Amino acid sequence: MPTTDNKKIIIRIIVMMVVLGFALAMAIPCFAQNGISVPKINIGVGKASSPEEVSSSLQILLVMTVLSLAPALLIMLTSFTRIIIILSFTRTAIGSPQVPPNTVLVGLALFLTFFTMAPVMQKINQSAFRPYMEHKISFQSATNNAAAPLKEFMLRQTRTKDIMLFVNLSKSERPRTKNDLSMAVIVPAFLISELKTAFTIGFVIFIPFLVIDMVVSVTLMSMGMMMLPPMMISMPFKILLFVLVDGWHLIVRSIALSFH
Protein backbone atom coordinates (compact mmCIF):
# COMPACT_ATOMS: atom_id res chain seq x y z
CA MET A 1 0.00 0.00 0.00
CA PRO A 2 1.37 3.48 -0.78
CA THR A 3 2.45 5.57 2.19
CA THR A 4 1.07 8.98 3.06
CA ASP A 5 4.13 10.70 1.60
CA ASN A 6 3.74 8.79 -1.66
CA LYS A 7 0.07 9.76 -1.84
CA LYS A 8 0.99 13.40 -1.36
CA ILE A 9 3.62 13.16 -4.11
CA ILE A 10 1.15 11.54 -6.52
CA ILE A 11 -1.50 14.19 -5.75
CA ARG A 12 1.07 16.94 -6.36
CA ILE A 13 2.07 15.37 -9.68
CA ILE A 14 -1.61 15.15 -10.71
CA VAL A 15 -2.25 18.79 -9.82
CA MET A 16 0.90 19.87 -11.64
CA MET A 17 -0.20 17.95 -14.76
CA VAL A 18 -3.50 19.84 -14.66
CA VAL A 19 -1.63 23.13 -14.28
CA LEU A 20 0.70 22.32 -17.17
CA GLY A 21 -2.20 21.25 -19.36
CA PHE A 22 -4.11 24.48 -18.72
CA ALA A 23 -1.00 26.63 -19.11
CA LEU A 24 0.08 24.97 -22.36
CA ALA A 25 -3.42 25.34 -23.79
CA MET A 26 -3.15 29.09 -23.20
CA ALA A 27 0.54 29.51 -24.05
CA ILE A 28 0.76 27.70 -27.43
CA PRO A 29 -1.43 30.25 -29.31
CA CYS A 30 0.72 33.06 -27.87
CA PHE A 31 3.87 31.31 -29.08
CA ALA A 32 2.41 31.00 -32.56
CA GLN A 33 1.47 34.71 -32.68
CA ASN A 34 4.92 35.86 -31.54
CA GLY A 35 6.74 33.60 -33.97
CA ILE A 36 8.28 31.46 -31.22
CA SER A 37 8.93 27.87 -32.27
CA VAL A 38 7.99 25.01 -29.97
CA PRO A 39 11.04 22.84 -29.09
CA LYS A 40 11.24 19.22 -30.20
CA ILE A 41 11.74 16.53 -27.56
CA ASN A 42 13.56 13.29 -28.32
CA ILE A 43 13.26 10.28 -26.02
CA GLY A 44 15.79 7.46 -26.32
CA VAL A 45 16.27 4.04 -24.74
CA GLY A 46 19.73 2.94 -23.69
CA LYS A 47 21.56 0.65 -21.30
CA ALA A 48 21.86 1.85 -17.71
CA SER A 49 25.38 1.90 -16.33
CA SER A 50 24.63 2.76 -12.67
CA PRO A 51 21.87 2.32 -10.07
CA GLU A 52 21.17 6.07 -10.21
CA GLU A 53 20.23 5.78 -13.88
CA VAL A 54 17.88 2.91 -13.08
CA SER A 55 16.21 5.03 -10.41
CA SER A 56 15.85 7.91 -12.87
CA SER A 57 14.30 5.53 -15.40
CA LEU A 58 11.74 4.39 -12.85
CA GLN A 59 10.89 8.00 -12.06
CA ILE A 60 10.43 8.74 -15.76
CA LEU A 61 8.19 5.65 -16.04
CA LEU A 62 6.07 6.93 -13.14
CA VAL A 63 5.74 10.37 -14.73
CA MET A 64 4.77 8.83 -18.09
CA THR A 65 2.13 6.72 -16.33
CA VAL A 66 0.68 9.84 -14.69
CA LEU A 67 0.74 11.64 -18.05
CA SER A 68 -1.23 8.79 -19.64
CA LEU A 69 -3.89 9.23 -16.95
CA ALA A 70 -3.82 13.04 -17.18
CA PRO A 71 -6.72 13.33 -19.70
CA ALA A 72 -9.02 11.27 -17.48
CA LEU A 73 -7.94 13.20 -14.40
CA LEU A 74 -8.41 16.49 -16.22
CA ILE A 75 -11.96 15.48 -17.13
CA MET A 76 -12.83 14.36 -13.61
CA LEU A 77 -11.50 17.51 -11.92
CA THR A 78 -13.43 19.93 -14.13
CA SER A 79 -16.99 20.63 -15.21
CA PHE A 80 -16.79 18.17 -18.12
CA THR A 81 -18.70 15.37 -16.36
CA ARG A 82 -21.83 17.44 -15.74
CA ILE A 83 -21.81 18.99 -19.21
CA ILE A 84 -21.43 15.76 -21.22
CA ILE A 85 -24.15 13.99 -19.19
CA ILE A 86 -26.62 16.87 -19.69
CA LEU A 87 -25.92 16.95 -23.43
CA SER A 88 -26.37 13.16 -23.63
CA PHE A 89 -29.71 13.41 -21.78
CA THR A 90 -30.82 16.11 -24.20
CA ARG A 91 -30.03 13.96 -27.21
CA THR A 92 -31.84 10.97 -25.70
CA ALA A 93 -34.89 13.07 -24.77
CA ILE A 94 -35.25 14.29 -28.34
CA GLY A 95 -35.30 10.66 -29.49
CA SER A 96 -32.36 10.82 -31.91
CA PRO A 97 -29.60 8.67 -30.37
CA GLN A 98 -27.15 9.35 -33.22
CA VAL A 99 -27.79 13.06 -33.83
CA PRO A 100 -25.77 15.05 -32.86
CA PRO A 101 -22.96 12.48 -33.13
CA ASN A 102 -20.68 11.70 -30.20
CA THR A 103 -17.81 13.69 -31.71
CA VAL A 104 -19.91 16.86 -31.79
CA LEU A 105 -21.17 16.37 -28.23
CA VAL A 106 -17.68 15.73 -26.84
CA GLY A 107 -16.27 18.72 -28.73
CA LEU A 108 -19.04 21.00 -27.48
CA ALA A 109 -18.55 19.68 -23.94
CA LEU A 110 -14.81 20.38 -24.10
CA PHE A 111 -15.27 23.97 -25.29
CA LEU A 112 -17.92 24.60 -22.63
CA THR A 113 -15.53 23.11 -20.06
CA PHE A 114 -12.78 25.52 -21.11
CA PHE A 115 -15.28 28.38 -20.93
CA THR A 116 -16.59 27.54 -17.45
CA MET A 117 -13.11 26.74 -16.10
CA ALA A 118 -11.47 29.89 -17.54
CA PRO A 119 -11.49 31.82 -14.20
CA VAL A 120 -9.93 28.84 -12.43
CA MET A 121 -7.30 28.45 -15.15
CA GLN A 122 -6.39 32.12 -14.92
CA LYS A 123 -5.93 31.89 -11.14
CA ILE A 124 -3.76 28.79 -11.50
CA ASN A 125 -1.68 30.46 -14.21
CA GLN A 126 -1.15 33.65 -12.20
CA SER A 127 -0.55 32.12 -8.78
CA ALA A 128 1.26 28.88 -9.62
CA PHE A 129 2.48 28.31 -13.16
CA ARG A 130 4.03 31.70 -13.99
CA PRO A 131 5.82 32.18 -10.63
CA TYR A 132 7.17 28.63 -10.83
CA MET A 133 8.43 29.07 -14.40
CA GLU A 134 10.08 32.35 -13.35
CA HIS A 135 11.77 30.51 -10.40
CA LYS A 136 10.02 32.71 -7.85
CA ILE A 137 8.44 29.85 -5.88
CA SER A 138 9.27 26.20 -5.25
CA PHE A 139 7.53 23.18 -6.74
CA GLN A 140 5.70 22.49 -3.48
CA SER A 141 4.45 26.08 -3.28
CA ALA A 142 3.35 25.90 -6.93
CA THR A 143 1.31 22.74 -6.33
CA ASN A 144 -0.29 24.23 -3.22
CA ASN A 145 -1.14 27.44 -5.07
CA ALA A 146 -2.54 25.46 -8.02
CA ALA A 147 -4.64 23.20 -5.81
CA ALA A 148 -6.28 26.12 -3.97
CA PRO A 149 -8.48 27.54 -6.81
CA LEU A 150 -9.23 24.03 -8.08
CA LYS A 151 -10.28 22.94 -4.61
CA GLU A 152 -12.39 26.09 -4.21
CA PHE A 153 -14.20 25.36 -7.48
CA MET A 154 -14.92 21.75 -6.56
CA LEU A 155 -16.11 22.60 -3.06
CA ARG A 156 -18.50 25.21 -4.46
CA GLN A 157 -20.18 22.48 -6.54
CA THR A 158 -20.04 19.71 -3.92
CA ARG A 159 -22.73 18.92 -1.38
CA THR A 160 -21.80 18.81 2.30
CA LYS A 161 -23.51 15.43 2.56
CA ASP A 162 -21.18 13.91 -0.03
CA ILE A 163 -18.09 15.39 1.63
CA MET A 164 -19.07 13.95 5.00
CA LEU A 165 -19.67 10.57 3.38
CA PHE A 166 -16.06 10.28 2.23
CA VAL A 167 -14.72 11.81 5.43
CA ASN A 168 -16.46 9.03 7.37
CA LEU A 169 -15.38 6.35 4.89
CA SER A 170 -11.76 7.45 5.13
CA LYS A 171 -12.03 7.34 8.95
CA SER A 172 -10.13 10.60 9.18
CA GLU A 173 -10.59 13.40 11.67
CA ARG A 174 -13.52 15.73 11.20
CA PRO A 175 -12.17 18.79 9.37
CA ARG A 176 -12.54 22.14 11.10
CA THR A 177 -12.39 24.22 7.90
CA LYS A 178 -12.55 23.49 4.20
CA ASN A 179 -8.78 23.95 3.99
CA ASP A 180 -8.35 20.82 6.10
CA LEU A 181 -10.03 18.66 3.45
CA SER A 182 -7.71 16.59 1.28
CA MET A 183 -8.06 16.07 -2.46
CA ALA A 184 -8.62 12.36 -1.80
CA VAL A 185 -11.92 13.33 -0.12
CA ILE A 186 -12.92 16.26 -2.33
CA VAL A 187 -12.53 14.57 -5.75
CA PRO A 188 -14.94 11.60 -5.25
CA ALA A 189 -17.40 13.82 -3.38
CA PHE A 190 -17.26 16.32 -6.24
CA LEU A 191 -17.89 13.57 -8.79
CA ILE A 192 -21.00 12.11 -7.17
CA SER A 193 -22.35 15.62 -6.59
CA GLU A 194 -21.81 16.37 -10.27
CA LEU A 195 -23.63 13.16 -11.21
CA LYS A 196 -26.62 14.05 -9.03
CA THR A 197 -26.78 17.59 -10.44
CA ALA A 198 -26.50 16.35 -14.03
CA PHE A 199 -29.23 13.74 -13.54
CA THR A 200 -31.50 16.33 -11.92
CA ILE A 201 -31.10 18.70 -14.86
CA GLY A 202 -31.55 15.78 -17.26
CA PHE A 203 -34.86 14.85 -15.59
CA VAL A 204 -36.13 18.42 -16.03
CA ILE A 205 -35.12 18.31 -19.71
CA PHE A 206 -37.03 15.05 -20.19
CA ILE A 207 -40.38 16.36 -18.91
CA PRO A 208 -41.61 18.39 -21.96
CA PHE A 209 -40.54 15.67 -24.38
CA LEU A 210 -42.26 13.03 -22.23
CA VAL A 211 -45.47 15.06 -22.39
CA ILE A 212 -45.28 15.10 -26.20
CA ASP A 213 -44.78 11.31 -26.26
CA MET A 214 -47.81 10.79 -24.01
CA VAL A 215 -50.04 13.11 -26.07
CA VAL A 216 -49.03 11.40 -29.32
CA SER A 217 -49.57 7.93 -27.81
CA VAL A 218 -53.04 8.81 -26.49
CA THR A 219 -53.99 10.40 -29.82
CA LEU A 220 -52.90 7.36 -31.82
CA MET A 221 -54.79 5.00 -29.49
CA SER A 222 -57.95 7.09 -29.75
CA MET A 223 -57.67 6.96 -33.54
CA GLY A 224 -57.20 3.18 -33.46
CA MET A 225 -53.66 3.35 -34.91
CA MET A 226 -52.13 0.97 -32.37
CA MET A 227 -49.70 -0.57 -34.87
CA LEU A 228 -48.06 2.76 -35.69
CA PRO A 229 -44.99 3.41 -33.47
CA PRO A 230 -45.58 6.57 -31.40
CA MET A 231 -41.86 7.47 -31.56
CA MET A 232 -42.07 7.84 -35.33
CA ILE A 233 -44.79 10.48 -34.99
CA SER A 234 -43.57 12.23 -31.85
CA MET A 235 -39.94 12.78 -32.89
CA PRO A 236 -40.71 15.47 -35.54
CA PHE A 237 -42.87 17.32 -33.01
CA LYS A 238 -40.09 17.13 -30.38
CA ILE A 239 -37.53 18.45 -32.86
CA LEU A 240 -39.93 21.23 -33.86
CA LEU A 241 -40.49 22.19 -30.20
CA PHE A 242 -36.74 22.13 -29.54
CA VAL A 243 -36.06 24.42 -32.50
CA LEU A 244 -38.92 26.84 -31.73
CA VAL A 245 -37.77 27.43 -28.14
CA ASP A 246 -34.10 27.68 -29.26
CA GLY A 247 -33.25 24.60 -27.22
CA TRP A 248 -29.46 24.61 -27.59
CA HIS A 249 -29.31 28.22 -26.40
CA LEU A 250 -31.37 27.36 -23.32
CA ILE A 251 -29.38 24.20 -22.57
CA VAL A 252 -25.98 25.91 -22.84
CA ARG A 253 -27.22 28.90 -20.83
CA SER A 254 -28.54 26.61 -18.09
CA ILE A 255 -25.25 24.69 -17.97
CA ALA A 256 -23.17 27.86 -17.69
CA LEU A 257 -25.40 29.37 -14.99
CA SER A 258 -25.40 26.12 -12.99
CA PHE A 259 -21.71 26.69 -12.13
CA HIS A 260 -22.26 30.18 -10.65
Mean pLDDT for the stretch of residues 40-66: 55
Does a structural domain hold residue 166?
yes
Does a structural domain hold residue 9?
yes
Does a structural domain hold residue 53?
no
What are φ and ψ of residue 175, in 5° steps? -70, 140
Q: Answer yes or no: are the C-beta atoms of 209 and 94 closer than 8 Å.
A: yes
Does a structural domain hold residue 85?
yes
Percent of the chain with pLDDT over 90: 0
Does a structural domain hold residue 97?
yes
Q: Which residues contact 90 (CB under 8 A, 6 or more apart)?
A: 202, 205, 247, 251
pLDDT of residue 138: 77
pLDDT band at 53 (very low <50, low <70, confident <90, very high): very low
| pLDDT one-digit tens code per residue, 69-123 | 667 777 778 888 888 889 888 888 888 777 788 888 888 888 888 888 888 888 8
| pLDDT one-digit tens code per residue, 120-134 | 888 888 887 787 777
pLDDT of residue 45: 52
| pLDDT one-digit tens code per residue, 144-175 | 787 788 888 888 888 888 888 888 887 777 77
- For the ranges 26-30, 199-203, 238-242, the one whose mean pLDDT is highest: 199-203
Domain count, the chain: 1
Q: Answer yes or no: are the C-beta atoms of 159 and 185 closer than 8 Å.
A: no
| pLDDT one-digit tens code per residue, 194-214 | 899 899 988 888 888 888 878
Does a structural domain hold residue 235?
yes
The residue range of the domain holding 197 is 4-31+60-257
